[in-house]
A and B are shown apart, each in its own frame.
Chain A
């Protein structure tokens, strides 16, 4: 028996978008109500998933599977295949929650082309959910690209003064990454056909899991690079990050929330879901690992430093994302359980805290239409509730214990430390700098007396605006006080990925050592010197098939 809950969650926003098409565009309030209804409904519908998933959190493999491989376009081997594990489960819940909150937050912020705005937003929502649910590379890529267009339009139509520049930059930059990733996907696809027995074409991800690690190192490294660039742009990692501040600054508030909260997680999710299981021998190669980690560490410190000097609040938050996401990639490429768990947790936390930070900036922007820090000062005199909420979210973002940020950051640091203590030592200044740029921002915006006459009449938060923060604060406290359920949900998938990397990279090294008298596994694993590995597939089909069976 198949449960269709994933499909239901996936298509609820799309149904909402279709429903909106039938509402006349002059009727703005009706449009808003319907969009909010579907967004909130989408969140409510995803809630039953929680107890259902909780009951089977320790079971291995993907859960709530839908569809069979190759059932969509059998001729090319594409399938409508959904399924989730602990990692995607958390990200899906984050997406439905943030989707609802950002749609709720746009009630008064969007005044022109209201209908199109909500339609595109709901389409975007489906696209994001699809990325996290797809177990088929074709389907995955469809959603991956489908997500790009609505975001492009959200920035390009409802954005700020330089919206076209930002939108095009965002689109082209991410498209460049997607194209490289597509090439990688196609290689995996044809490679699967070559080595599988009987030979089949399929885009099914679980199937590809079995064959992709067999790719010889000297090819796998290039595939890894192709995927890496695709995901690194999305994350964004240093030095692929410059689209982010532009896109964030120009995007409407809700767009920024979703962009930071969910879209950036596509990159890290890609690392966890694809790069790690597909190329275990590459990611565990010390030199590759080192490079990625160094980029992450640069991102952490560099993002924080740049953030410190920003004069635009939204840009400051955008660069802080670069820093936080640096922690996420650091955790992933520490390649151990603590690092990976912390990284996924930190992704959730970043969605919550940075999402809230963008909402916070958006609220001031909606009232004053400027994001210049120098325009403000003494805001806590006129908007005390707002100041309190901001303080809580700032603290969560800078990783204060008993709030969410600390749990993720600390777990990552623990993972990084056990992998190599120097990595943790380099990441630690990021924690200090986070406090510096956030508190300095807080001082300049909230403390002091009101010096700018325009700020004297600002009204405090409306109940609707408070409502947008309540779920985020509750989540921040929950993760901060009692993160055990999250650790338990992540435990099984994370351990499996780590185990896989160790097994496969060890097996590869062992096979390489066996087949030819190479000085040692490390030499065989050197970039570009892996003649042995490339012979493996061609000349030893029996061996390959045997290992294929073993890995089943």
Chain B
């Protein structure tokens, strides 16, 4: 009964958004809370029941449940067709359809769950802000879009959510639209995402052109049917295009630049959209398309390499940032890189698991930082904090849990998921892939370092606050701390869902997801390729000894990072120096300025900065086109007009002086000269003329009579 009305889950928050759109302005804050938070709570409960019902429906087979409401794109009667690549026709069709399988169940639960907590948190955080109803309206709209994205049963429906979350992200980053930096960041987010979207659309079109449908189930059946060779060029192209989309949405190199700037939005937004849910949409989409990706090893390699690079690259920037939210932003980018690394080496379940755990501890970190900012009356610069642990104890304890989780300390959630990813990377193809493991391992060390740096600077080191700020420091209200505590519990416990076999667990999480990903192994084996990607092979290959060694190594890395941070920052007084800035100033400058990527993009791609006197990039092209349009094309049109006018002037002269002058007026002048004497006979007296007439008549008569 819940399963059959699965479409209601996104509609609850949509309803809240509509109410806010029409009546929000006139509503009390309490009413806004009741409607918007209520909608998400209802959605969460509904989602829980639905998933429970689904597990009964599927009986552990993981068979997807589909519900089609109506035909969205297409005429719905099968007469509007397009020609596939192989020359056969297929129906042009995309339904407003919903799909629930283990993969979407996981996303559904944590999106509604974390979303609900963040909604509750926002009632406290935003209590003194203007535009309260607008904020909650946008948040609800976001929930609608995100849930549509998760529950879609085809690429076009997914794209509805995909663009929808992009829009809400735009609206919420630009929430403080008075600030120029906020609206610029919003634009940047949307436009960079749009680049990814263009890739996504082309990828989906490629799949439809090749396989004849946008539906996940159809595509999976075909892709797993063994009709396509591994490395099929069209599927590879499709997978790469889809991955461009994922790069945009999930902030991977080269499209990650929007996410750090997105911190201009209110902190709950950063937690919900830019950490826990929206940015994982790219991971979701790639995991959803796993059947296609598995057939395209080149694309898989690309995903893994881009993921690893992003992970280490973003972590390196995060080492030296001073804005508390920016550190977390780069941390998010880095963790997303981990997830893609996992997907790229074929460990889809591990990637999804990291998404799941990351959602809790990263949301917690952002909400905690929001609580810190709240306590500090809006201060975000860590250089002006310190010694907060006793003043805001709840925030401190919860954030400490999250930090331990993200640093990968046993037995917090991050340990299990991150360790799984590193292990799978090590255990997959081997050889060159070991480099990726090293990259990931280095990132783990950096992660521990910058996270504990954040903790020390904020909570432990001597106070560097101004007296004004120090005076106002206060713990946040219950509405904010309760979600923190709940998330902290999740950050501890979420990892236990996939307690690995090697530590005597049973990896429930991966077993649950198995039906979604498992068949890749079948495909690969059928194709006769040595299936190193296949899960079964990995199982056989791995020895417990290596796994334990790797576990120990990652724990050691976390410990080393912690120790380094403690050494450098535990006693950071006012005016402290960054150790990197002391030891290697050029490197510090490079990292502090984010490798100058934004500047480079401005020079090369957007054209907001000029290279010498020349403007490159899109704006350069725009200027050149405008010039071309005004001078060349319109110039040509005006020149045609000018030539016509010149010819017309000459013609007019010719007409006036030659034709009219000589030809027409000439004879007229002549006639006038001749007629002048004749005129003298006329003096204008009518009766004189009449008399002449009568005389003439008489003369006429006399002549005839007398003749």
Contact = CB atoms under 8 A, between A and B. Distances in A.
A401 B162 CA distance: 9
10 contacts: A336-B82, A410-B156, A418-B83, A424-B202, A443-B184, A481-B72, A483-B73, A484-B71, A488-B77, A494-B80
B195 interface: yes
A336 B83 contact: yes
What class of interface size applies to chain B in its complex with A? 35 or more
Given A305-B618, A432-B195, A488-B76, A447 B177 contact: yes
B187 A440 contact: yes
Closest 10 CB pairs of A and B: A487-B75, A447-B183, A309-B622, A428-B198, A242-B634, A401-B160, A308-B622, A305-B622, A305-B625, A447-B177
Contacts of A341: 80
Contacts of A380: 177
A431 B167 contact: no
B92 to A, nearest CB: 5
Nearest to A176: B640
A337 B93 CA distance: 13
B296 interface: no
Interface string B177-213: 1111011101100110011011101100110110000
B198 A429 contact: yes
A401 to B, nearest CB: 4
Contacts of B187: 436, 439-440, 443
A416 to B, nearest CB: 9
A407 interface: yes
A439 B190 contact: yes
A60 interface: no
B79 A428 contact: no
Contacts of B75: 484, 487-488, 490-491
A401 B164 contact: yes
Contacts, number: 155
B668 to A, nearest CB: 35
Contacts of B184: 443
Contact of A484 (B74, B186, B621): B74
A239 B202 CA distance: 27
A313 interface: no
Contacts of B206: 417, 421
Contacts of B633: 239, 241-242
Nearest to B159: A401
B189 to A, nearest CB: 10
Interface string A421-444: 100110011011101100110010
Given A338-B92, A414-B82, A484 B191 contact: no
B72 A483 contact: yes
Contact of A487 (B74, B163, B198, B199): B74
A338 B622 contact: no
B618 A410 contact: no
Interface string A40-78: 000000000000000000000000000000000000000
A459 B641 CA distance: 43
B16 interface: no
Main secondary structure of the interface of B (DSSP, over half): helix
B191 A407 contact: no
Nearest to A172: B641
A414 B92 contact: yes
B82 to A, nearest CB: 5
A178 B404 CA distance: 75
Given A242-B633, A306-B625, A428-B198, A407 B83 contact: no
A500 B174 CA distance: 51
B84, B187, B625, most chain A CB atoms within 10 A: B625
B651 interface: no
Interface string B624-647: 011001000110010001000000
A16 interface: no
Interface in B556-580: none
Nearest to A302: B625
B598 interface: no
Interface string A459-491: 000000000000000000000011110011011
A239 B635 CA distance: 12
B541 interface: no
Given A169-B641, A487-B75, 9 more contacts: A242-B633, A395-B167, A402-B164, A431-B194, A432-B194, A436-B618, A439-B187, A443-B183, A488-B77
Contacts of B170: 439
Contact of A421 (B80, B164, B209, B621): B209
B81 interface: yes
A482 B72 contact: yes
Contact of A415 (B82, B182, B191, B622): B82
A93 to B, nearest CB: 18
Contacts of B625: 302, 305-306, 309
B205 A413 contact: yes
Contact of A305 (B174, B178, B197, B621): B621
A448 interface: yes
B344 to A, nearest CB: 24
Nearest to B184: A443
A241 B625 CA distance: 13
Given A410-B156, A439-B187, A433 B618 contact: yes
Contacts of A490: 75
A484 B92 contact: no
B205 A424 contact: yes
Contacts of A443: 183-184, 186-187
Nearest to B160: A401
Contacts of B209: 417-418, 421
Given A337-B82, A415-B82, A309 B191 contact: no
Given A435-B194, A439-B187, A428 B74 contact: no
B178 A449 contact: yes
A378 interface: yes
B623 interface: yes
B626 A435 contact: no
B92 A306 contact: no
Contact of B167 (A241, A400, A482): A400
Contacts of B681: none
Contacts of B80: 337-338, 341, 487, 491, 494-495
Contacts of B186: 439, 443
A411 interface: yes
B626 A306 contact: yes
Nearest to A416: B205
Interface string B484-509: 00000000000000000000000000
A435 B156 contact: no
B70 interface: yes
B439 interface: no
B550 interface: no
B604 interface: no
Contacts of A241: 633
Nearest to A433: B618
A401 B163 contact: yes
B83 A309 contact: no
Interface string A163-184: 0000001001100000000000
Contact of A448 (B70, B72, B178, B621): B178
